[in-house]
Structures are given as structure tokens and as C-alpha cells.
Amino acid sequence: MKDYQKKLNVLILGAGFGGICTAKYLLKLTKKTPNIKITLIDGNTYHFFTPLLHEVATASIHSDHIKRPLRMVFKGEDVEFHHGEIEKIDLKKKTVEICTNYNSRDNPPKYDYYTYINKADFISDRRERFRYDYLVLAMGSDPNFYGVTGADKHSYTLSSIKTSEEIKARILECFELANQTNNLQLKKELLTFVVIGAGATGTEYLVELHDLCKNVLAEEFEFVKFNRDCRIILIEAMDQILPNMDPYLVKYAMKHLQDMEIEIMTSTKVTKITDCTIELNGKIFIPTHNVLWAAGVKANDLVASLPLKENSDGRVKVNSFLQAIDRSEVFALGDNACFMPKEGENPLMQTAQVAVQESKTVAMNIVKHFSGKKLHHFKYVFLGSTVSLGERKGVANLIGKFELKGFSAWFSWKLTYLRHLLVIEKLSRALWDWSFDLLYNRQMARFKLH
Ligand SMILES: Cc1cc2nc3c(=O)[nH]c(=O)nc-3n(C[C@H](O)[C@H](O)[C@H](O)COP(=O)(O)OP(=O)(O)OC[C@H]3O[C@@H](n4cnc5c(N)ncnc54)[C@H](O)[C@@H]3O)c2cc1C
């Protein structure tokens, strides 16, 4: 017999899409089962909306407008939030260890810089240990550089608010430097922007970057001419761009990018990156000081190191209830989970819509498992995918049935994201940025750049 009076500890690791939604669904369910304690841990104090990081990097949207403090999200609710770097997960002892004073994934602790605060008042390298009855792995993924020499050191990634801000600063810096030199060759090198990976992230960044360079920065900087000095290059190892889109939409997107005079190199492998060049297929060299790596993700290192049954890519293999195959008290979802809809089929992709849908099943199954009820099988419903191509154009596949291109696709892209942003924050401030963008010309909309 299970002890129904006992408080059950549910520990959610990671407050991204999967973690935050699991906590929200659990909250709803625990209104009927109040003896569940929900604890959420993340290395950031805020939740952020990854699909719009490219707009932060290209100054379309202010970074504050796509993030929401986690303490605010769960204010007045029965969710205990802890800020810290998750460092150790002991599946045998059912404990998790975090460090609460660490060089944060985004910002180091501020009090180190305040001379009027006595540092001795702070316990340095503070550690906390949590016990759990159920563990939810929702720690997301990291960029995958596929072992390409220099890629981790010399390229930027759209993986956090911090990296997106760094990209924005670097673009501006390259323009500043290019404006100060009469050496046309150097000017061109500084203004050669290379994007590696022609999936949705790389493509959406590329078109925003093109707009920023052509319509804003080249207009502002006196000694830069867009057509003479700027090169924007997209590199893809596969033989087409947007590999998950329908060929008809890919053709449209390809033509649109070509019309924008973006150089597209498909079937091309990046073999090395240095601080001033990239090497392609081991023989072609392009001088550049600005490389964005958007070629894919790999499993979170800590999750991949757990003694659980894993897919070859490090994601935890889960059953149809989203439990780890070898541990029924451990659930994994989103980018941490390898869920195969049917035996022999490809695992679900690492997307926010997968994480959000899985979170409902995870929350439900934790409560069901605890109360000894039959668990719910997870069923994924593809809601569609949309890609913005700039200039108020896009391509979209809605629920796998309807294909849109042009303005209607771009509009459905905005609506989809706005709907998600409104879940994080009731009156999304991103709406301000976009309205500003629509009402005034693009130049004025870049007010956040400087
Ligand atoms: C630039 C970009 C654009 C994207 N665009 C789309 C899109 O348009 N549509 C779509 O469906 N998907 C998109 N995705 C994918 C989507 O963001 C992920 O699939 C989704 O976020 C996965 O959710 P998750 O909960 O598994 O992990 P995440 O949302 O990544 O959350 C993981 C959380 O764990 C925390 N964490 C990780 N390690 C630690 C640690 N050691 N200690 C403490 N905290 C830790 C992180 O801080 C983070 O908050 C995009 C991703 C990127 C990077």
C-alpha cells in the first residue's frame, strides 16, 4: 500500500519549455492531489523563448521581451524554484546536487563586483542537495559542433540570451571596424557574414541579418556600401536548405533567398574555423570574422552521462509513458528524451512543440503512477512548422496538411509565436517591438541596437 498522506517530492530539472509546462500541468493536477511538492531548478533565473533568439541577435526585439523571471511565473503558486547549476544526479540515492553560487550560464554573481558588500557574508560555492521521489529531466541540449576544428572557439551560437547579445555586439563591432578602414579587402572580410546550417534557425537568422546589414547598418555607416562590401553566405552540408520542409516550399524559400542575393552553398562541409577564416571541404577558404553555427544540437552532457539506457545521440530512451526505460521514477522529455512514435521510426525531433506536448503526459503520469492508476500513452500531434523569410514573407506547413507561402505564412508565424509568448507573459512586450516594426520603417525599429 502506498502512503497517500506522505508529501511526494517531484523534482523538475530545467525550466525551459518542458520543465515549465510540466510544473504548470502538475500544479493544475495537484489541486486534486495536494500532497505533491513541486520543485523546479534552473541555472537561469528566467525562462526565455528560444524561437526568437535570432531576432534578439539582429536587434529586432529586445532580449527582455522574450524572457520572464521564473519567480514571477510561479508567484503565489505551490512551486518552489531554486536557482543553481545542476552538477550531480545520483539515480541510486535519488538525489540531485546543485551549486548556487557559480559562474552562471549567463552572468556571474553580481555581488563579486560590489566593494561595499562584505564577501565573507556570502557562502562561496554553496551547494544544496535535493531528494526526489520522481525526477523530471528537462535540461535541454547544447550546440553540436561535430568535432569541427575551431568551431566551438571561433563561431557564435544562438543558444542563450547572452550569446544572442554577443552576436549583436559583434555585428555592430564589425561595421564599426569596417567603417574605419580604407583597405577594401579588410572591409570586405569584416563584413562577410557566414551562417552554417540551413535549418529554420540558420535561415531565419540569415534573413534578419541581411535586413539589418542592408537596410539599417549600411545606411548608417558612412564608409560602408552594402553591395560593394557585404557578403552574406549560407552553408549547408545537405543538398538542400530547410531539410524538414516540403520541396515546394523549399523551392520558394530558395528563390526568395537568391533574390536577396544571399550566397547559398549546399552539399558543402565546413572542415575548420579560425578567428579569420573558414575552411570548406578541406580546400576552399573564406576570410570572415563573423560565423554563426546553427548546424544542430547534441544531448546535454550531464544527462548523457547518466547510467540510463540512451540513444546513440545521448538522449534518454523513454517508453510510451515517457519514463526512462530502466527507471520508472525518472521521466524525460523535450530535448532530453528519445521518444520513438513507433518501433523502427525516427525519434521525435528536438522542438519546443514536442517538449510542451510531452509535459502534459509527464505531469499526468507522475500523478497516476503515484496513485497506482494506469498510465497514459503519449501521442504526438504535429501542429506544423513555420519559417520566417524576412520582408514579411515566410513558408509554413500547418498540421502537416496545409502549405502556405508568402505573407500568409509569415503572418501565421507571427501569430504562432505571439500565442506562445502570451502564455509566458499576459501582455507580451514583444508585441510592442513588432508593432513598432510594422508602423514605422525598419530603421526606427532598430532603436535597441545602440
Ligand atoms: C535558436 C533556437 C530556435 C528554435 N526555434 C524553435 C522553433 O521555432 N520551434 C520549436 O518548436 N523549437 C525551436 N527550437 C527548439 C526548442 O527551443 C527546444 O527544442 C526546446 O527548448 C526544448 O525544450 P526543453 O524543455 O527540452 O529544453 P530547454 O527549453 O532548452 O530548457 C532547458 C533548461 O535547462 C536548463 N539547464 C540545462 N542544463 C542545466 C544545468 N546543468 N543546471 C541548471 N540548469 C540547466 C537551461 O538553463 C534551460 O532553461 C529552437 C531552439 C533554438 C536554440
Beta strand 290-293 pairing with 192-196: parallel
pLDDT for position 123: 56
In 3D, which of 392, 385, 434, 433 has the Cα closest to residue 410?
A: 392
Q: Which residues pair with 387 in a beta bridge?
A: 395
Indicate whether residue 202 lines ligand 1 (CB < 6 A): no
Indicate whether residue 295 lines ligand 1 (CB < 6 A): no
Indicate whether residue 19 lines ligand 1 (CB < 6 A): yes
Pocket residue to mutate for ligand 1, from 20, 50, 58, 103, most atoms within 8 A of Cβ = 50
Q: Which atom of ligand 1 is nearest to the CA of 14?
A: 34
pTM more than 0.95: no
pLDDT for position 391: 84
Q: Selecting from 3.50.50.100, 1.10.101.10, 3.40.50.920, 3.90.79.10, what CATH number does the domain 151-295+384-445 have?
A: 3.50.50.100
- Look at ligand 1, atom 26, and give the residue with the nearest C-alpha: 334
Domain locations along the chain = 8-43+84-143+298-370, 151-295+384-445
pLDDT for position 425: 62
Computed from CA positions of residues 438, 442, 447, 450, in that sequence, does the dihedral angle turn out positive or negative?
positive
pLDDT for position 54: 95
- Look at ligand 1, atom 37, and give the residue with the nearest C-alpha: 139
**Phi, psi (degrees; rounded to nearest 5) at 439:** -80, -40
Domain 8-43+84-143+298-370 and domain 151-295+384-445, same fold? Reply is yes
- Look at ligand 1, atom 51, and give the residue with the nearest C-alpha: 50
Residue 213 and residue 370 in contact, taking contact as beta carbons nearer than 8 Å: no
Cell digits of residue 299: 544531448
- Look at ligand 1, atom 53, and give the residue with the nearest C-alpha: 159
Q: CA 28, CA 12: separation in Å to the nearest integer?
A: 16
Give 352 Cα–ligand 1 centroid separation in angstroms.
7
Give 95 Cα–ligand 1 centroid separation in angstroms.
23
pLDDT for position 62: 87
Q: What is the pLDDT along the chain (450 residues), one digit of tens a residue?
A: 344 456 899 999 999 999 999 999 999 998 766 688 999 999 999 999 999 999 999 998 888 888 889 999 998 889 999 999 999 999 999 999 999 865 555 555 555 455 555 555 665 568 899 999 999 999 999 999 999 999 999 999 999 999 999 999 999 999 999 999 999 999 999 999 999 999 999 999 999 999 999 999 999 999 999 999 999 999 999 999 999 899 999 999 999 999 999 999 999 999 999 999 999 999 999 999 999 999 999 999 999 999 999 888 899 999 999 999 989 999 999 999 999 998 888 899 999 999 999 999 999 999 999 989 999 999 999 888 889 998 889 999 888 778 889 988 888 877 877 777 666 665 566 666 666 666 665 554 454 555
Indicate whether residue 334 lines ligand 1 (CB < 6 A): yes
The CATH code of domain 8-43+84-143+298-370 reads 3.50.50.60
CA distances (Å), 422 to each of 65, 427, 431, in order? Answer: 11, 6, 9
Q: Which residues pair with 88 in a beta bridge?
A: 97
- State the CB neighbour count (10 A cutoff) for residue 132: 22
Q: CA 223, CA 30: separation in Å to the nearest integer?
A: 62
